[in-house]
Amino acid sequence: MLRLHLHLVSDSTGETLEMIAKAALAQFEDADVTRHFWPMVRSRQHLDRIVPDLAANPGLVLFTLVNAETRARLEEHCRQLGLPAVPALDAVTEALESQLGQEARGRPGRQHTMDEAYFKRVEAIQFTIAHDDGIGWENWEQADIVLAGVSRTSKTPTSIYLANRGFKTANIPIVVESPPPDALFRLRRPLVIGLTTAPDRLVQIRRNRLLSLHEDTETAYVDDDRVRDELKYARRMFADNGWPVIDVTRRSIEETAAAAIRLYNQRSSGEDGAGDQGIKPI
């Protein structure tokens, strides 16, 4: 198994650098990677404090540092230690400079400035948390997206992810014995999206959930026939109301959210086909 120490050095929160590293590492199998995370490195003194760890755990250094002096000092330390140092955003920044005909502004954390988009995201997160699992249905008309699905179809984590992208998202569990409020079927502004999955996969997820809670696994909640009936009931509801459907069986939370955003943007731009997805899951 390949072993690697990966040092992530950022002058801001490091969120961008972490996502780049995660996406790149996903391309490699059987890699044992130890990550060393160094956010908010904005001074020579702070940088010097992490050098002993670089020396003690030699590996690859990825960095996003816009201050020329701090960056040069890191690169010099890496040269002395014989460590490869990769500026993660240089190629993209240089390409943008070429296309835009201007130099990039070297301000740490510029992408995290508290602008209108930041406050929109905060508002979306607050709304989503307050409207999880069918709560606050009286305010669903204020949502951008409403996710509907039977238990354990990733409604809550997908909602939170969408909220972090700035979408006010509510979600509602579809339960055969307890139909959703009529307000769900009268919504005009939000895009209602149905989430579905393969019955066998759903049974497995529910069973694992019960085991983690040390609860009895011999219940209707994980009965094969009962689960299939639940999914059929939900799918019929989605089709009857013309709601688009996303099959989450082989999708990660990020992929499900991306599909939801695509459907939302299609409807917002007036493209045809979004309403027909309720018949065939994407």
What string of pLDDT tens digits covers the 282 residues of the chain? 568 899 999 988 788 888 888 888 888 877 788 989 988 888 889 999 999 999 999 999 999 888 888 999 999 999 999 999 999 888 887 888 788 887 766 555 554 455 567 778 889 989 999 999 999 999 999 999 999 999 999 999 999 989 988 999 999 999 999 999 999 999 999 999 999 999 999 999 999 989 988 899 889 999 999 999 999 999 999 999 999 999 999 998 889 999 999 999 999 877 544 443 433 456
**Binding-site annotation: residue ranges for ADP:** 149-156
Question: How far apart are alpha carbons 172 and 184 in whole angstroms?
Answer: 9
Judged by DSSP in three states, 149 sits in: strand
Report CA torsion sign: 230, 279, 255, 138: negative
Structure tokens at 84: 């490869």
Residue of 19, 11, 61 lying closest to 39 (CA atoms):
11
What distance separates the 2 farthest-apart alpha carbons in the chain? 68
pLDDT score recorded for residue 110: 52
Per DSSP, the residues of 66-101 read --HHHHHHHHHHHHHHT--EEETTHHHHHHHHHHHT
Residue of 241, 234, 239, 154 lying closest to 190 (CA atoms): 241
> Residues 41, 13: contact at Cβ < 8 Å?
no
Q: Which domains does the chain possess?
A: 2-112 (3.40.50.10700), 116-278 (3.40.50)
- Using DSSP's 3-state secondary structure scheme, residue 36 falls into strand
Q: What does the alpha-carbon distance between residue 205 and residue 217 come to, in Å, rounded to a whole number?
A: 12
Which sign does the torsion angle of CA 103, 108, 110, 115 carry? Answer: negative
Report the candidate in 235, 56, 38 with the shortest Cα–Cα distance to residue 149: 235
pLDDT at 84: 93
Binding residues: 149-156
Position 282 scores a pLDDT of: 64
